[in-house]
Amino acid sequence: MATEKKWLFTLFSAAFVSLLIFLSTMSGFSASSAFSSHRPFPSAVRYGANYPPAFAYYISGGKGHKDQIFRLLLAVYHPRNRYLLHLKPEASNVERQRLAEAVHAVPAIRAFGNVDVIGNPDPVTYMGSSNIAATLRAASILLRVDSGWDWFITLSALDYPLLTQDDNIRRRKNGNNSTGGQRRELNFIDHTNDLGWKEQQRVQPIVVDPGLYLARRTQIFQATRKRPTPDAFKFFTGSPWVFLSRAFLEFCILGWDNLPRTLLMYFTNVMLSQEGYFHSVVCNTPEFQNTTVNSDLRYMIWDNPPKMEPHYLNVADYDLMVKSGAAFARQFNKDDQVLDIIDDKILRRGSNRVAPGAWCAGKRRWWTDPCSNWGNVNIVKPRQQAERFGEVITGLIDDWRSQTRSCK
């Protein structure tokens, strides 16, 4: 009996070792690595004019948006970038903690340490100026924690990318990158001085945002009287979704001129101030007014006349989204089927995995994540969607150079 047990033990031991050798051969790891939690040390991230640009993403959402924010993070992740995630106060601390745990569970994020979750959330009132306060705080944090990024991008949990990060930071064949060559001071911000109906309904009403002084979140309220349209500066309005240069944000926050603070006090009592603050600051500052490219780089479908929010996009909108050449689209319902199509056809992203790029050194198989191992994070490999995006950027830069759509 003892001999039989010894024989069976030897047989199973040999089979187990053979299985380990087989799996290590298939997955590209040595047999010894199956017993360790070793992760490759992050490659050095290089910044500067000779390297691809880097982005600082501020991604915000509310109660029930944890999964959408995490999915969006994975879709736009790259080791070169910096990310700040904000779940508003109506989300529970448990939801906030679970988001942080999900982020920490991603090997690359854990290694590069370039994603943070705000633990003490800012109150944000719909249509109120607390939105600008939260955005300025996010920009301040990102400026403080990372000195390398070039552009600040605002996204919500309802947004999704239409290109990979390699596409977004690609270099053109002539040596210029897709966001304007070495002109990293450009600000992509949809703006206009043609106020139209907004002058009576948005600019002149005086509103108060209780989120600035009350612990309990309530709606804005409006004064009985109105105030005249400003004549000390030009009022500009546009999309709240911005793509701002580091230099301009340093001016807004560390400002050597008092204009950003003066306008911040004025916009405290403006309805939907996030649709006018950055726009008015950049277009009233001589140093920056010629750096504005008139686009928010988003794909959206609006009613005519437009309502408060664009349509929710779905599978029927996919072809037009792709052809638009936009960097992002909004807005989407949670786990809509069209997001799976974008993941599969554009991002080539597996479930609960970051979108792969040239920095991912692992083999792409259904049981392994190619981005659990990495190589040089300072190179990019654009795909087909980058060509469409490049055409859009070229057209926008041509308009900017002709100065036909800059701060007008």
- CA distances to 108, 135, 322, 343 from 383, in Å: 22, 32, 13, 14
Range of the domain at 251: 55-194+234-402
- CA distances to 157, 205, 270, 271, 276 from 202, in Å: 26, 6, 7, 6, 10
In a domain, 283, yes or no: yes
What torsion do the CA atoms of 90, 69, 278, 251 make, to the nearest 10 degrees? 100
In a domain, 370, yes or no: yes
More confident residue, 16 or 155: 155
Q: What is the pLDDT of residue 42?
A: 64
To the nearest whole number, what is the mean pLDDT of the chain? Answer: 86
Q: What is the pLDDT of residue 29?
A: 34
Q: Are 212 and 115 in contact (CB under 8 A)?
A: no
In a domain, 393, yes or no: yes
Q: What is the pLDDT of residue 211?
A: 85
In a domain, 9, yes or no: no
pLDDT at 197 over 50: yes
Q: What is the mean pLDDT of residues 393-402?
A: 88
pLDDT one-digit tens code per residue, 92-121: 999 999 999 999 999 999 999 999 999 999
pLDDT one-digit tens code per residue, 323-366: 999 999 999 999 999 999 999 999 999 989 999 999 998 877 76
pLDDT one-digit tens code per residue, 228-261: 999 999 999 999 999 999 999 999 999 889 999 9
C-beta contacts of 108-113 below 8 A and 24+ residues apart: 108/77, 108/79, 108/354, 108/371, 108/372, 108/374, 109/77, 109/354, 110/39, 111/39, 111/40, 111/41, 111/42, 111/374, 112/42, 112/45, 112/79
Q: What is the pTM of this model?
A: 0.86
In a domain, 61, yes or no: yes
In a domain, 4, yes or no: no
Q: pLDDT over 90 for what percent of the chain?
A: 65
Domain count across the chain? 1
In a domain, 391, yes or no: yes
In a domain, 252, yes or no: yes
Q: pLDDT over 70 for what percent of the chain?
A: 85
How far is residue 343's CA from residue 55's CA, in Å, rounded to a whole number? Answer: 21
> Which range, of 30-39, 115-124, 184-193, 320-329, averages the lowest pLDDT?
30-39
